[in-house]
Amino acid sequence: MKYIVVLPAAGSGKRMKAGHNKLFLTLRGKPILIHTLDVFEQDPNCMAIWLAVKPEERTIIQNMLHNYHITKVKGMPAGGDERQHSVYACVLAADATTGLILVHDAARPFIEPSVITKLTLRAYETGAAIAGVKAKDTMKRVRNHIIEETLDREQLWMIQTPQAFRASILIKAQQQAAQDGFLGTDEAMLVERLNIAVHVVESTYDNVKMTTQEDLLIGEAILQKRQQEEN
């Protein structure tokens, strides 16, 4: 399925403690941001990329796009204080009223093309589909360090991006959230509020978000594994 992708890249990476936007850190010599962009640059179904950036980082990112031959970025609107605002800025800039919009964290460079294909197909059929993996650990609800409940792991999924939506659904959900001053941690939360079913598509545990220093080690290991598989 053809789609456009929105990549929020306007965070500050506080938990990474790099002293600058974590997306500029490199894995195997290439910035995390470029690893992510390359996935969509190479996917023939991706028609356009919209990137939310901090205005003060626009020039450095423009140079990176040039140096790494990224050609599909159609716009780089200014991000907001919250991730949700950055995503909304891109959706407004893209001005797409039909078709599919995929939202994907720029900080998740290892998304598998096969997951994107499954996800976009499901979103095309249903209107809303997001990527997730089954919880591996035993999950308990804990308050003040005391267990309240052991949750049924069969029903628990760890949710990732990408999240794909029919454009009309995502726009309606964002407008409603803005009107209500509602802040969600992902786009699905905004759509759930409209009582629209959001389908979960099984992704891979590789699709980690580069959040803290240890994630960089995991990232290097994933790249090494993939290179070995290629050889």
**52 near ligand CTP, rule: CB under 6 A:** yes
- All residues at 6 or more sequence positions from 25 whose CB lies less than 8 Å from its CB, including other chains: 16, 18, 31, 32, 210, 216
Which region among 10-18, 73-81, 103-111, 203-211 touches Mg ion (by CB under 5 A)?
A: 10-18
- Binding of ligand CTP at residue 86 (CB under 6 A)? yes
Look at the alpha carbons of 62, 25, 209, 13 in this order and tell me if their dihedral is positive or negative: negative
Please tell me whether residue 11 binds ligand CTP under the rule CB under 6 A: yes
What mask, x for binding ligand CTP by CB under 6 A, covers residues 199 to 218?
A: ----------x-x-------
Which pair of structure tokens corresponds to residue 33? 């941001």
The burial class, CB within 10 Å (0-12 / 13-18 / 19+), for 91 is buried
Q: Is 203 exposed, middle or buried (0-12, 13-18, 19+ CB in 10 A)?
A: buried
Q: Does 99 bind ligand CTP (CB under 6 A)?
A: no
Closer residue to ligand CTP, CB minimum distance, 82 or 112: 82
Residue number, 36 or 120, with CB nearest to Mg ion: 36
Q: Which is nearer to Mg ion, 38 or 82 (CB)?
A: 82
CB neighbours of residue 135 within 10 Å: 14
Does residue number 20 form part of the binding site for ligand CTP (CB under 6 A)? no
Residues that bind ligand CTP (CB under 6 A): 8-16, 22-23, 52, 79-83, 86, 105-107, 209, 211
